Chain A
């Protein structure tokens, strides 16, 4: 029914007192795994924390004091506090996860474990 199941299953967030923004994501399917693109406009890489534990990938803002004296007449986005978590499929190699932040998009490349990838065998 749902193709997303094969890539990453989102973990429902527990209710907390702090208000976290849930950033939008795109998930791209690749031959050897998949890529998660997360929209984080205005966020620098020092403000992003990424963690994998038991195949649970958590991406969240680094907790810090915010000195923001700007008063907005209109405020539609604010990524000071954000959090989103995904359960990765078992065949994803959690030791080889790469991420980069460019143009306000965090791209996380997840590859399958080498042993589950099809291997070409040459005939001697």
Chain B
């Protein structure tokens, strides 16, 4: 939530409203719980980066279902903690990606560092893909 406050021009009541989180005004829940993603493409691989701050790698589950690559986490929250502000909580999420045709399913590797999960997908060379396709036609 971006906001700008001009103390000198706004009456104090208005200034007070603007200084508060909008979620507290509308009573809604503005907690971000879907991890952000970066994807890069190289000649030989695709790299997927998932921002999961606060999630331990042991709690992350990776699997392939048909052409979907699924990343999920399901951890229990510390119920005793009292939050006065909660802008992020990635303890439970599920995110799926459609695997491109040229991904080698035997060549998927994952690593975790500083709250970022990185998954590398090896790509099958275009020529090899064409060979496979040719065989299928016969």
Interface, chain A (partner B; CB < 8 A): 1-4, 6-7, 9-10, 12, 15, 22, 24-29, 34, 37, 39-44, 70-78, 101, 103-105
Contact = CB atoms under 8 A, between A and B. Distances in A.
Interface in B59-98: 81-89
B40 A70 contact: yes
Interface residues of B, number: 35
B40 A72 contact: yes
A1 B25 CA distance: 9
A6 B84 CA distance: 9
Contact of B115 (A7, A40, A70): A40
Interface string B11-23: 0000000011100
Given A73-B41, A76-B38, A77-B38, A42 B88 contact: no
B116 A104 contact: yes
A77 B2 CA distance: 17
B110 to A, nearest CB: 15
A74 B89 contact: no
B54 A72 contact: no
B85 A25 contact: yes
A72 B53 contact: no
Interface centre among A1, A24, A71 (most CB of B within 10 A): A24
Interface centre among B2, B19, B52, B84 (most CB of A within 10 A): B84
Contacts of B53: 39-41, 103-105
B24 to A, nearest CB: 6
Nearest to A37: B54
B53 to A, nearest CB: 4
